[in-house]
Amino acid sequence: MVNIIWVLLTLIGIVFAMFNGTMSEVNEAVFNGAKEAVTLCIGLISILVFWLGMMRIAEDAGLLKKLANLFKPIVKRLFPEVPNDHPAMGYILSNMMANLFGLGNAATPLGIKAMEELKRLNGGKDYASRSMITFLAINTSSITLIPTTVIAIRMNYDSANPTDIVGPTLIATFCSALGAILIDRYFYYRRTRKG
Amino acid sequence: MQIVSLISLWFIPVLIGIILIYGTIKKVPTYESFTEGGKEGIKIAVSIIPFLVGMLVAISVFRASGALEYVMGFIKPALEAVGIPAEIVPLAIIRPISGTAALGMTSDLIASYGPDSFIGRLASVLQGSTDTTFYVLTVYFGAVGIKKMGDALKVGLLADLVGIGAAIIVVTLLFA
């Protein structure tokens, strides 16, 4: 899907420029776009290094594990099919904590582990169980406490207050997570009524 | 409104404080842990360069040719009637499909309209508040061999729609 969008964006731009007489602007855009991307990534290094360094301290201190325990009672209610001490629950919680703190790279392997355990719970069948769909729904609207990359981009472009979007992002991400849970429940009850 | 900006201002310093105090109490070698974790940050920043170069060139070409403006001309009146800025639509479409593509678009919007403009802030909140549904779906289900996804895609995309709506409403209420 990305492949098609990527090719279409570029091709349509080039063809459009032929008729629009904007070929010189397109030429410039190729080199400026590339340059801007590299400058941006260099700018991202600063905040990524700092934040991932901080998160490593939190991880080593067991702060993430402690938070996971704190959230357990709530998360348990979201996954009624998962037994209390099943390893799936542990992986689900660690994945959520990693997402919460913007550790995308750490979250993915934990999420896959959680999926494996959920599949085992489902008898190894190749269709998505109720818990799997719930887990995915929460993941796709992942609650992130601090949108570090976005802050870095805003800093790069000289924002007067790069972090003033933290509060609004928290509200929006909370809404989308709540929406995900409610929509997931709705589809679940629709399925069970039909079947 | 005041509370939200207060949270934005205090949240990061307070969180850093908590982490450092907790780490010290638990006798973590804080500085060594910090540098160890920081190394990963360099790896991530460098590894996204090719993705961002590809996407930003494509978007820049599309914009510079005048094609973007042309398309906007068509959809703008309808969207603005319901309070949605047309400039945000490409980002909203690509956000569930590709994370790095969305990152490229977000930075393009912030660069073109300014980080403190309405569009710039809306792009920031949008980028930060939803995740790449298709990516999560393919990676997680692909890794464990789930072939029938059930309602997963529908639920994920509808949740994205809620997130986009929430982002527009929140940013409009707080900054417009």
How close B77 gets to chain A, by Cα (Å)? 22
Residue A146: closest C-alpha in chain B: B12
Best residue in B124, B141, B147, B168 to probe A by mutation, most A CBs within 10 Å? B124
> A2 to chain B: which residues are within 8 Å by CB?
97-98, 101
A137 to B54: CB separation less than 8 angstroms, yes or no: no
Residues of A in contact with B69 (CB under 8 A): none
**A-B contacts (CB, under 8 Å):** 375
Q: What percent of chain B has pLDDT over 70?
A: 99
* Residue to substitute from A40, A135, A159, interface B, most B β-carbons within 10 A: A40
pLDDT tens digit string along A112-130?
899 999 999 999 888 899 9
* CA-based nearest residue to A109, from B51, A117, B149, A144: A117
Question: Cβ contact (<8 Å) for A176 and B52?
Answer: no
pLDDT of residue A195: 60
Q: Between B176 and A81, whose confidence is greater?
A: A81
Residue B133 has phi, psi (to 5 degrees) of: -55, -50
Instruction: Name the residue facing A112 among B127, B143, B148 (closest C-beta).
Output: B143
Contacts of B40 in chain A (CB under 8 A): 52, 56, 105
Residue the block writes with tokens 């704190």: A70
Model pLDDT for residues A146-177, shown as the tens digit of each residue: 888 899 899 989 999 999 999 999 999 999 89
Q: Which residue of B has its CA nearest to A131?
A: B152
With CA atoms as reference, report the closest residue to A16 among B159, B127, B68, B85: B68
Nearest to A180 by CA among B157, B50, B75, B63: B157
Tens of pLDDT, residue by residue over A57-90, are 998 998 888 888 888 898 999 999 998 888 899 8
Q: Which residue of B has its CA nearest to A18?
A: B65
Tell me if residue A127 falls in helix, strand or coil: strand
Of B40, B54, B150, the CB nearest to A127: B150
- The secondary structure of chain B as a DSSP string is -HHHHHHHHHHHHHHHHHHHHHHHHTT--HHHHHHHHHHHHHHHHHHTHHHHHHHHHHHHHHHHTTHHHHHHHHHHHHHHHTT--GGGHHHHHHTTT-HHHHHHHHHHHHHHH-TTSHHHHHHHHHHHH---HHHHHHHHHHHHT--B-TTHHHHHHHHHHHHHHHHHHHHHHHH-
Reply yes or no on whether the pLDDT at A1 is more than 70: no
Average pLDDT, chain B: 88
The yes-or-no verdict on residue B1 having pLDDT over 70 is no
Residue A189 burial (CB count, 10 A) = 10
Contact A180 B70 (CB under 8 A): no
Q: What is the pLDDT of residues B63-100, one digit of tens each?
A: 899 998 888 888 888 888 888 888 898 898 888 888 88
